[in-house]
Amino acid sequence: MSVLVNVIVMLGMLVVVPAGLRLTELRELDRIRRLWPLFAVPGAIALWLPRGGPATALACCYALGTVLLALYAPRRAARGRDLGPAGIALLTALVTPAVAATALVAERSGHQLFGFDLGILALTVPHFHFAGFAAALIAGLVCRVSDGPAGRFAALSVPLGTLLVLAGYFIGDWAELVGAVVLTAGMWTVGLLTWRLGHAAGRDRTTRYLLLASAAVLVATMLLALSWAVGEATGLPHPSLTWMAATHGLGNALGFALCSLLAWRRLRTRTPARTEALAGPRTLTEGRTA
């Protein structure tokens, strides 16, 4: 893994996932959130070791944590807990770190899982932390406060696009392009609704800037993702994977995911009476007709 990709993955493991779990405000996730450093720190160390037994063992520690997190999804689904669009986005967020961890274990062991090149496996790790976990979680949050067609579309299309991109890994470049189109449409909708939230009355300056920055970044980063997918499917010139990591990857990690999580954290702490848990009742009225 390159240094840049390692740093992005560490941000996902150590900051984005636990911060996102806190934003759900679900008591059932409190235990795994408190234990998360016990899994994430070994996983982060594994990134910097040479491929082999020690790196694989540490990656397996992280994989164990992601599996424990993923197990909450079928339990919630079996109980019929909040299976609307925002709930589906939450279930997606709970499961996708396990996909990333599976790729991490394979890459650290030097095993070409399902025949995928180790470089592709390495990039799958940040992809499913940010385009998987963070994107789905934030789409669900946005849907909660923008309970209209646009909000529901965002909460459904982001998980669907993520699933289609994953399926495209196995089917082919054209299938992956379809997934990229769906995911881009969903993320741009998230960006539009986030932009509206940033301009809502009574928003403090820092929160406003964080929301607007995260929305603006999505325009560029998802356009890059779309151009790469088109190029892979058609053979047209497109950015290299190295360039994508430095632009699309870094932009999504810092500009979208981190700014969004910080903004939503501020919304939670500054206006608790007007915000809600990801799985709770809708109380915030801003953007309900989006």
What confidence tens digit (pLDDT) does each residue in 3-58 have? Answer: 999 999 999 999 999 999 999 988 899 999 999 999 999 999 999 999 999 999 99
End-to-end CA gap in the chain: 41
Torsion of CA 85, 87, 91, 96, to 10 degrees: 50
Query: pLDDT tens-digit profile of 224-254?
Result: 999 999 999 999 898 888 889 889 999 999 9
* pLDDT exceeds 60 at position 277: no
Tell me which of 25 and 212 has the higher pLDDT: 212
Residue 139 CA to residue 134 CA, distance in Å, equals 8
Tell me which of 76 and 19 has the higher pLDDT: 19
73 contacts: CB under 8 Å, gap ≥ 6: 91, 94, 95
The token duo for 243 is 């360039």
Mean pLDDT confidence for 173-192: 95
Instruction: Supply angle C-alpha 83, 84, 88, rounded to 5.
Output: 65
